[in-house]
Amino acid sequence: MDKYFFLETFGCQMNIVDSEQIVALLSANGYTQVDSAKKADLILLNTCSVRDKAERKVYGHLGRFKPLKDKRPDLIIGVGGCVAQQEGEKMLAKVPFLNLVFGTHNIHRLPELVKQAEQNCQRGSATDFQDRETRLNLFPERTFQESVNRFVTVMQGCDNFCSYCIVPHVRGREISRPSDEVIAEVQGLVSQGVSEVTLLGQNVNSYGVKDVEEISFAQLLHRLNDIDGLQRLRFATSHPKDMTADLIDCFGSVGKLCNHIHLPFQSGSDRILKLMNRGYTRDDYLAKVNRLKEVCPDIRLTTDIIVGFPGETEDDFQATLDMVEQVGYADAYTFLYSPRVETAAAKMVDDQSAWQKQQRFDRLLQLQQQTSTAIWQTDIDQVLPVLVEGKSRRSESQMFGRTTTNRIVNFTGTSDLIGKIVSVKINESHRNSHIGDRI
Ligand code: 5AD
Ligand code: SF4
């Protein structure tokens, strides 16, 4: 009998890639993916726990499935990802209708866990961390949907232990994937029509550092640049402390590398950066940004910023505002600090009121919005190369693509342009995208 599964994914690009593996594994085991929980025999959530809000969302979503389970007791409901890793068996106690919990290192066991749940209506959890070898073998097949751009994982986990961050606790230690495998995967994707690849890892800059025989991330970029048919390369995320001179130079010397870098600075205050255990000072960061701008004058930067870290004073916050002004970020992801279990910062004294934090957050957002608007408006009247990704949601006759600086551009065009780089004159700049004319 055919079986159907419904999968919902929350959080970062890592979870998106993990979900692609889940789809491939379940498809190989006789399951077909459906787009509605109501049609499914198996419901899975791939979850994020980076902030409290994301974690609470998981419980909210699970609640929505309870009526379905009441109607159909044989329905299997499972939770994977970072919340599953963090909570483990506790989740089974908290959510009585939940069947299985699988952690970030246990995706490969999913078919077996589902089978157990189906056969004996058992409930179970698997959240043990795996050794390096097992994990390296866990870069199995992914589903391939035809697309212009794809993520390729180069490393997993994180050794940095920034004091606010749960990632090292739920994703485990860093491992880098052998460069030959990464190169072969990219070659394979290109031969299937992929034009742009984004290399993924919690901290791609430390790629290969722990493996004496492995090439560096900068060398990997050069090797990938040589692949015929690949048009564009991107990577995320970078840790400023590991942004080496040779990696910065790649923005001048690796032709296919896009003119964009996401370089989270988190706080502009040296005192807070130290408390965050970030391993760089404001001046270190600014020196690297200046060098990036020298090597690639057209580069656009984006960043992550945390507001309201324990003990943040008005002066510390001013230093953050000042950094936003000095660097001029094209976009910034701004977050209110959220205490996470097991992290060092959760034990620090936090004496600011929620109101005060919100005020700062709003001030930062306002400054960033002004900055973003001003930066993106400088594209108006320019003719920019746009890699066409698909049909625009705005109208039937419109296509959309992306500039090398990672800006979405909508323009009138036809589907045969998908996967090609076209020249578009930018006419208007809106909140999240440009509008232009193909020339
Ligand atoms: N509170 C708020 N923001 C956080 N981030 C990570 N952990 C926390 C936390 N506990 C943010 C950081 C990181 C981004 C992915 O999420 O800015 O770069
Ligand atoms: Fe978290 Fe820091 Fe690792 Fe990024 S580098 S995943 S913020 S611990």
Per residue in 283-318, pLDDT (tens digit) is 999 999 999 999 999 999 999 999 999 999 999 999
Domain assignment of residue 266, yes or no: no
**Alpha carbons 306 and 323: distance in angstroms, whole number:** 13
Q: Check residue 260 and give its pLDDT.
A: 98
Same domain, 89 and 194: no
**Which of the ligands is closest to the CA of residue 157?**
2
Calpha distance 199→221 (Å, rounded): 9
| pLDDT score recorded for residue 138 | 66
- Of 215, 241, 258, the residue at which a domain comes to its end is 258
Residue with the smallest CA separation from ligand 1 atom 13 is: 304
Nearest CA to 268 out of 237, 299, 252, 289 is that of 289
Nearest to 364 by CA among 309, 323, 330: 323
What is the rounded CA–CA span in Å between residue 283 and residue 294? 16
- Kindly report the protein residue whose alpha carbon is nearest to atom 5 of ligand 2: 160
Bigger pLDDT: 118 vs 387? 387
Alpha carbon distance 211, 232 (integer Å)? 27
Q: Are 111 and 99 in contact (CB under 8 A)?
A: no
**17 and 110 part of one domain:** yes
Question: What pLDDT score was predicted for residue 22?
Answer: 94
Residues in CB range of 242: below 8 A, 6 or more apart: 203, 205, 206, 209
Residue 145: predicted pLDDT: 72
How would you write 352-388 as a 3-class SS string?
Answer: CCHHHHHHHHHHHHHHHHHHHHHHHHCCCCCEEEEEE
Q: Looking at the structure, do residues 254 and 158 belong to the same domain, yes or no?
A: yes
End-to-end CA distance of the chain: 54
> Do 134 and 185 belong to one domain?
yes
* Mean local confidence (pLDDT), 334-356: 96
Task: Identify the residues whose C-beta falls under 6 Å from ligand 1.
Answer: 50-51, 164-165, 264, 266, 304, 306, 335, 337-338, 340
Token duo for residue 336: 């209110």
Q: Check whether residue 9 and residue 107 sit in a common domain.
A: yes
- 434 by DSSP, 3-state: which? strand
Higher-pLDDT residue of 164, 28: 164
Q: Whose CA is nearest to atom 1 of ligand 2?
A: 165
Same domain, 427 and 406: yes
pLDDT at 137 over 80: no
What is the reported pLDDT for 120?
A: 74
Give pLDDT, residue 122: 77
Ligand nearest to the CA of 348: 1
Distance 337 CA to ligand 1 centre (A): 7
How is residue 94 written in tokens? 């908290």
Residue 2: what pLDDT? Answer: 84
Last residue of one domain, picked from the residues 343, 360, 377: 377
Q: What is the pLDDT of residues 216-275, one digit of tens each?
A: 999 999 999 999 999 999 999 999 999 999 999 999 999 999 999 999 999 999 999 999
Q: Are residues 155 and 95 in the same domain?
A: no
Please write the tens of the pLDDT for every residue from 43-74. Answer: 999 999 999 999 999 999 999 999 999 999 99
pLDDT the model gives residue 136: 80
In a domain, 210, yes or no: yes
Q: Tell whether ligand 2 has an atom less than 6 A from the beta carbon of residue 165.
A: yes
- CATH number for position 358: 3.30.750.200
Q: CATH number for the domain including 63?
A: 3.40.50.12160
Whether 80 maps to a domain, the answer reads yes
157 and 178 co-located in one domain: yes
Answer whether residue 77 is part of any domain. yes
- Do 413 and 322 fall within a single domain? no
Pick the last residue of a domain from 377, 410, 428.
377
Q: From the CB of 202, is ligand 2 less than 6 Å away?
A: yes
Cα of 335 from ligand 1 centre, angstroms: 7
Q: What is the pLDDT of residue 271?
A: 98
Which atom from ligand 2 is nearest to the alpha carbon of 203? 5
Q: pLDDT averaged over the chain?
A: 95
Residue nearest atom 17 in ligand 1 by C-alpha distance? 304
Residues in contact with 425: Cβ distance below 8 Å, sequence separation at least 6, in sequence order:
381, 382, 383, 436, 437, 438, 439
CATH number at residue 232: 3.30.750.210
Question: Best substitution site from 12, 155, 162 to test ligand 2's pocket, by max atoms within 8 Å of Cβ?
Answer: 162
| Residues 196, 104 share a domain | no
- How many structural domains is the chain composed of? 4
Do 190 and 254 lie in one domain? The reply is: yes
Spacing, Cα 55 to ligand 1 middle (Å): 13
Question: Is the per-residue pLDDT at 14 higher than 70?
Answer: yes
Kindly tell me if the per-residue pLDDT of 140 is higher than 60: no
The domain in which residue 28 lies consists of 3-128
Residue 101 vs residues 91, 385, 417: alpha-carbon distances, Å: 7, 45, 43
The reply to whether 251 and 209 lie within a common domain is: yes
pLDDT digits (tens, 9 = 90+) for 154-204: 999 999 999 999 999 999 999 999 999 999 999 999 999 999 999 999 999
Give the H or E element holding residue 427: strand 421-429
Token reading at 109 = 């066991």
Q: Beta-strand (E) ranges in 135-240?
A: 149-153, 155-156, 175-176, 196-200, 232-236
Q: How confident is the model at residue 90 (pLDDT cuts 50, 70, 90)?
A: very high
Ligand 1 atom index nearest CA of 164: 10
Q: Which ligand is nearest to the CA of 158?
A: 2
Percent of the chain with pLDDT over 90: 91
Q: Is the pLDDT of residue 31 over 60?
A: yes
Q: Is 231 domain-assigned?
A: yes
Distance 420 CA to ligand 2 centre (A): 35
